[in-house]
Structure formats: structure tokens, C-alpha cells
Structure 1
Amino acid sequence: MDYRKILVPGLAVDLVIADGDLAGQYKTHLDEVGEKILSVFAPMMQGQVVPFREGTRAKVIFWDDVAAYAIETVIIQRIAVPVPIFVLELPEDIYRVQRRNFVRVPAVYPLTFRSVDRQGLSDTKKGTMLDLSGGGMRFQTSESVELGAILLAYLDLPSGPIQTSARVCRADKIPDSKNYSISVDFYQIPERDRDRIIRSVFDLQRVMRKKGLV
């Protein structure tokens, strides 16, 4: 498939900056698309243009009806007038993003969940998140959970609470403990909620970098 056909002016994209104090995922739109360069409108934060520097490595993520795609690029020019934009390299390679490629980071937050079955929802159970990514999470709980079960999970993240369904892909008894380690993939999650989770992951990464942990 020629993914470049999807790249048209006005297309909504995410500009992902992995390193530095401004690391994060920013929503913006394409301005122009050329043979070897493309430009995006400068993202705003608190009413101000986010001041990325020329030479900053970046990733542009965009979507069609069935999948997400990514471009590994670099900011080569900043233009201030008449409208602030960033000019980026447009490489030959554009690749489809696999769910397993979501960055996973340690994250310890409280959560509650309910199992979904033919009878409806179970009683609310408690757990503690152990790690998090845009594609899923792992958490610890004293409750046994069946492999393949669908859960309705309530995550208490710094950006605010999120409710999402999740499918259990791994369930292990923790040795010498009464608890279980449960891994889930987010299931039918709205993209706006996934974006919030990904932003939380980037925020955690930034804190870890400042502490020298990654």
C-alpha cells in the first residue's frame, strides 16, 4: 500500500517527541506535503507555540480507517510567519504501527475492575497497576482472573480517571504470594482515551529520564 496517498494537507496527525524536556505527543495537522519534506502546524501549549528546536528527532503518526502509521523524521526548519509551522524531512519509509510497539513503562496507580460475562458485571475488585502502555497494562490483584476474560477497568491516572474495557492476555500467580499478575490489552478503547494514556506514558518517561532511570 502507498501510505503517502493518505498524507494530504489538513490531515490530523500526532507529532511525537521522545527526548528532552518537551518530550510528549502533540496533536496537530499537516500544512503541506512535498516529495521530500512535509510541514505541520506548530502545536500549542497553554496558548504558546511549543518551541521545538531544529534538529529535533520526531515521529509523525497518522491513521486511516484500519490502522496507524508512523514516519521517523527530524525538524529541519521553523517558520514563524504568517503561521507558525515546522518543516520536517519526509523519508521513503513509512511503516504501519503494531500494537506491540507501544512503549511500556513502570507505573504504580490504583485501579478497580469488574469482570464482564453473560450475567452482566461482577462486583468491583481492586488492584494496583504495575506498568502501562498505550496498548495495555499489567496489574496486581488478590483476585483470580480467567485468561481471555473481558474486564471493565477504572484507571486512576494523574491526567484524570479513565474507564476502558480490557481483555486478559496473561494471568499468573505470583510466587510466595496470595496475589496475581494480570496482563491485559485495551479492548475497543476510544482513541481520545488512548491518547491520554500515551501522554501519561510520556510524562512518566520524562520523570524517569530526569532521575536517570532510563
Structure 2
Amino acid sequence: MTIAMPMSKGLPVLMRRGEIFFGRTVINSLAFEFTSALLAKQINPLPIWIVAVPYNIKKIQQRAFVRLDVALPVQIAKMEDGQVIDEPVINAVTKDISGGGIQIATTNEWQIGSKLLVTVDYQDIGAITLKSEVVRVQQPQPDRVLFWVGIKFLEISERDRGNIIKFIFKKQLEQRRKGLE
């Protein structure tokens, strides 16, 4: 396998032939870590490393926001062409929340890419309504009609995001204090 020669502070990373290294790569927005060994270096026409086939490949999470496991009430309306569809509003509960989205537990199985108008009732902050999109759907138990739906916020003001993040940190602090008692 050939990779661009790694650089650090504008200088090539120095390694000897046969030396083992750990690397990271992003493929289709998914991040992976791996182990490999340097087989050879080449400077011309481009500085590259020839490396052994990677092993110990692991998918890694690269979340931009801290997640908090918490059950909060959620109301969801489906959207098409930027407008709410006249269907009944679905009531659900969050599994976890972050500054970038939520995961809910629901009996509704939305398709990935579905656009939703999501209202989460955050204790102490109040309700926040945001245009969102389904990014992940899991069915944890095949014999039950229950889905875990990952939803990312599409449009969120920095004020709303900041309030959500403050809420998360406050709840984490409360949980830590309870753990110390």
C-alpha cells in the first residue's frame, strides 16, 4: 500500500524500514485506526511511504460533541420540501443528546435521510425545535418493533447549541456529584 509521506511541522516523519506505526484514515466520513509497518520510502516524483497491508483495523468515533444518556420528551413531525407534513406528531423519548443531534427510542422506523422537525423539551431550558435529518436507524431486538434513531440537527443557532451543551455539562456534574455521595 502507498501513502503520502507523513509530515510533522513541515518536515517528513523519520522512520526506519520495518518499523511499526499506528495510523488513522477517513473513508466516506468514517474514521479508522490501523497498525502497519514501513517497507520502503520514495522521494521522487512524490514523497511516499510503501507500507505493509494494515492490520488491527478499528472504526473510531469522532464526535464533535459530548453525548449524555438522558430520557427527555420529544415531539417529531415529518418534513418534505421544507414543510411539515399534515401527519400526526410522533411522541418519543431521547436515548442520548448532544450539541449536534439526538438519538431517540421509537416505534417509528424512518428512512435514513428523512427530514424531521424535532422538538426536545430540555429541563431548565425549555423546548427547542430544530430542522433535523435521520442519519442512523438500528433495531436492537429483531423481535420487537423498537428502533433507535440517530438524528442530526441541520439548522441550529449557536445560542441553542450553547444552551444544549450547558445543559449536558450541568447534568454530567449532577451525575458525578451523586456518584460521590
Q: Is TM-score (shorter-chain normalized) higher than 0.5?
A: yes
Taking every aligned residue pair, what percent have the same amino acid on both sides?
30
Question: 1:104: how far off?
Answer: 0.5
Give the match for residue 112 of structure 1. Answer: 75
Distance in 2 (CA, whole Å) between partners of 1:205 and 1:102 is 14
Q: Match of 1:100?
A: 63
Q: Which residue of 1 aligns with 2:147?
A: 180
Q: Give CA deviations for 1:95-132 in whole Å, capped at 9, x if unaligned.
A: xxxx8231101010110111111494232111100101
Which ranges of structure 1 fall in alignment gaps of 5 or more residues?
1-98
Structure 1 SS opposite 2:134: strand
Cross-structure match for 2:128: 162
Secondary structure, aligned partner of 1:202: helix
Give the 3-state SS of the residue equivalent to 2:163 in structure 1.
helix
Cross-structure match for 2:170: 203
The separation in 2 between residues aligned to 1:109 and 1:172, in whole angstroms, is 19
* 1:147 positional shift: 0.3
SS of the equivalent of 1:205 reads helix
CA distance in 2: counterparts of 1:193 and 1:185, whole angstroms = 14
Partners of 1:131 and 1:145 lie apart in 2 by 18
CA distance in 2, matches of 1:157, 1:105: 12
Bigger Rg over Cα: 2
- The unaligned stretches of length 5 or more in structure 2 are 1-61
Match of 1:204, SS state, is: helix
**Paired residues, number:** 115
- Tell me the TM-score normalised to structure 1 length: 0.51
1:125 partner letter: I
Cα distance per residue 1:129-150 (max 9 Å; x no partner): 0101111110011111110111
Moved over 6 A (4+): none
